């Protein structure tokens, strides 16, 4: 056995169910928090209280069509780590307009985004008809 793991945290049983432990400084004290599989971890987080801690997924971005354009929309998955409502939600930031959506609402909106993309494809086909 390696002797490099002297600071390995105690692994909780729930870690086997898609959860993982992440270190986080809470009020200046390092604790290990159970995170859902999609959580990116808490490096750089330093909440004062555990109740202020949220899990965040990787952020996805839609950039404008111009080369090197800034993002038009950002989205990620978030959940409060503790409290009365720890259900994950999809958070979309569209040019500073930030909306929290429950899964059903997010799926409905995603259908609208897909329909919009289909219309862009349609416009591109029409534009391409006159070209060789």
Contact between 59 and 74 (Cβ < 8 Å): yes
Cβ at position 127, least distance to Zn ion in Å: 45
> Would you report the helix, strand and coil content of the chain in percent, each value rounded to 5?
25, 30, 40
Among 21, 26, 35, 90, indicate the residue that binds Zn ion (CB under 5 A): 35
Which residue's entry shows tokens 């899990």? 55
Using the contact rule CB under 5 A, the part of the chain among 2-10, 13-21, 52-60, 112-120 near Zn ion is 52-60
Cβ at position 98, least distance to Zn ion in Å: 20
53 is an interface residue for Zn ion by CB under 5 A: no
How many angstroms separate the CA atoms of 130 and 26, rounded? 62
Between the CA of residue 32 and those of 7, 12, 35, 44, 84, what are the distances in Å?
12, 10, 9, 14, 20
Using the contact rule CB under 5 A, the part of the chain among 37-45, 72-80, 84-92, 110-118 near Zn ion is 37-45
Nearer residue to Zn ion within complex by CB, 57 or 75: 57
Residues of the shown chain interacting with Zn ion in the complex, contacts defined by CB under 5 A: 35, 39, 55
């Amino acid at each position: 056995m390696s002797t490099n793991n002297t600071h390995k945290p105690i692994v909780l049983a729930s870690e086997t169910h898609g959860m993982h432990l992440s270190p986080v400084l809470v009020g200046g004290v390092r604790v290990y928090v159970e995170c859902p599989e999609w959580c990116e971890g808490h490096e750089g987080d330093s909440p004062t209280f555990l109740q202020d801690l949220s899990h965040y997924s990787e952020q996805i971005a839609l950039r404008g069509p111009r080369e090197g354009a800034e993002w038009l929309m950002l989205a990620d998955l978030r959940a409060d780590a503790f409290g009365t409502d720890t259900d994950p939600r999809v958070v979309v930031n569209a040019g500073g307009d930030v909306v929290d959506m429950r899964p059903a609402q997010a799926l409905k909106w995603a259908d609208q985004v897909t329909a919009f993309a289909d219309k862009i494809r349609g416009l591109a086909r029409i534009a391409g008809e006159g070209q060789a």
